[in-house]
């Protein structure tokens, strides 16, 4: 099964497509989802090769189109106990990483509005769940694969900003609004920005960010100097948030930086018409801090970044 990841990711639709898959524990079926934009293909499980000194969560390695990629045992990561051995692999690619994920079955692709995507409540809250979708007969949990991969691979983790960069672009009296639904990633971004001297406000999704902006405007107390936004967020995604801001004349000069694991060359070309000042790919946090520092240093070469 191949997946066309170019169906959506168009400007200002506030829609996404998710691939639903299952870890079957017999008495209980666990339904999970991932943005189709991260999915390259879905295949039957081939013979896997053991990887020397790999973490227990890595089931093995496989060769796919002349490239060797790791295959993750998702059930083990999520502490599930499938009744049968997983025989499907969902191949993901994001943050310049390609990886296979073992699952028991793949159901279908759903197209829906981000407004239907909710943040998890305390009952189903987990470090690896960013959001959920309520269907008629089940709940699909959207997994934070960025965090899963980051915990397994240091090179894929959000890197701390070098102290020299922090000192070079040290600022005060500048306020940054950070919108990201991943608690893990948002905390990394915000802690590094605070270390660089910024005042930072946090939004858990695009709708939350818009409400923060709207309240400040209504009170005549707008003090945000720059917005950093993810793309994949419940209620309102980063593309719709960016478009909405740019349609408001009061916010015409607000710098916006999109910081997303989906920032491939193709997607950057699609998003440039939205009017963001820069589009950067996770997990290059040092580059993000540098660019914002240069923006506030009034360096002309930072007028557009891709």
Whether residues 35 and 127 fall in one domain: yes
Whether residues 130 and 202 fall in one domain: no
* Residue among 231, 221, 110 at smallest CA distance from 181: 231
Q: What per-residue confidence (pLDDT) applies to 284?
A: 83
Whether residues 136 and 183 fall in one domain: no
Domain assignment present for residue 148? The answer is yes
Here the CATH number for the domain that contains residue 288 is: 3.40.50.2300
Domain assignment present for residue 57? The answer is yes
Q: Which domain holds residue 98?
A: 15-153
User: pLDDT, tens digit, for every residue of 231-286?
Assistant: 999 999 999 999 999 999 999 899 999 999 888 777 887 788 888 999 988 878 88
User: pLDDT, tens digit, for every residue of 21-51?
Assistant: 999 998 889 999 999 999 999 999 999 998 7
User: Which of 135, 153, 171 is at the close of a domain?
Assistant: 153
Provide the strand spans (E) within the chain.
15-24, 29-35, 39-44, 58-64, 67-73, 88-94, 97-103, 105-113, 117-118, 129-134, 139-143, 175-179, 199-203, 226-229, 256-260, 278-281
Whole-model pTM: value is: 0.82
User: Which of 116, 131, 153 is at the close of a domain?
Assistant: 153
Q: How far apart are CA 197 and CA 192, in angstroms?
A: 9
Q: What per-residue confidence (pLDDT) applies to 48?
A: 94
Asked if residue 252 lies in contact with residue 242, where contact means CB atoms within 8 angstroms, the answer is: no
Q: How far apart are CA 102 and CA 59, in angstroms?
A: 8
Q: What per-residue confidence (pLDDT) applies to 160?
A: 62
Q: What per-residue confidence (pLDDT) applies to 283?
A: 78
**Residue 9 tokens, joined:** 């990711």
User: pLDDT, tens digit, for every residue of 99-133?
Assistant: 999 999 999 999 999 999 998 876 555 789 989 99
Whether residues 212 and 106 fall in one domain: no
Domain assignment present for residue 168? The answer is yes
> How many domains does the chain fold into?
2
Whether residues 146 and 167 fall in one domain: no
Q: How far apart are CA 39 and CA 30, in angstroms?
A: 19
Domain assignment present for residue 10? The answer is no
Q: Is the pLDDT of residue 303 over 70?
A: no
Q: What per-residue confidence (pLDDT) applies to 214?
A: 96
User: pLDDT, tens digit, for every residue of 137-173?
Assistant: 899 999 999 889 888 876 555 566 666 555 665 666 7
Q: How far apart are CA 83 and CA 242, in angstroms?
A: 45
Domain assignment present for residue 294? The answer is yes
Q: Which residue has the tokens 């939205």?
A: 274
Q: What per-residue confidence (pLDDT) applies to 212?
A: 98
């Amino acid at each position: 099964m191949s997946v066309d990841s170019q169906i959506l990711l168009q400007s200002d639709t506030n829609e996404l497509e998710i691939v639903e898959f299952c870890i079957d524990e017999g008495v209980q079926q666990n339904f999970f989802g991932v943005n189709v934009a991260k999915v390259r293909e879905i295949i039957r499980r081939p013979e896997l090769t053991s990887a020397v000194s790999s973490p227990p969560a890595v089931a093995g390695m496989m060769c796919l189109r002349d490239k060797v990629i790791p295959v993750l045992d998702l059930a083990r990561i999520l502490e599930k106990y499938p009744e049968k051995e997983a025989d499907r692999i969902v191949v993901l690619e994001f943050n310049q990483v390609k990886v296979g994920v073992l699952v028991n079955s793949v159901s279908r692709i759903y197209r829906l509005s981000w407004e239907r995507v909710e943040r998890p409540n305390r009952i189903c809250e987990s470090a690896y769940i960013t959001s959920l979708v309520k269907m008629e007969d089940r709940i699909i949990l959207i997994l934070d694969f960025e965090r899963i991969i980051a915990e397994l691979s240091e090179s894929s983790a959000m890197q701390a900003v070098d102290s020299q960069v922090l000192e070079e672009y040290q600022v005060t009296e500048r306020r940054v609004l950070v919108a990201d639904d991943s608690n893990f990633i948002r905390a990394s971004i915000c802690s590094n920005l605070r270390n660089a001297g910024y005042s930072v406000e946090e939004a858990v999704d695009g709708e939350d960010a818009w409400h923060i902006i709207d309240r400040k405007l209504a009170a005549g107390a707008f003090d945000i100097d720059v917005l950093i936004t993810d793309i994949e967020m419940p209620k309102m995604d980063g593309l719709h948030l960016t478009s909405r801001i740019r349609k408001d004349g009061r916010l015409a000069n607000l710098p916006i930086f999109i910081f997303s694991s989906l920032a491939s060359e193709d997607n950057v070309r699609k998003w440039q018409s939205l009017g963001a000042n820069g589009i950067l790919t996770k997990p290059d946090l040092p580059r993000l801090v540098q660019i914002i520092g240069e923006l506030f240093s009034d360096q002309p070469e930072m007028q557009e970044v891709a």
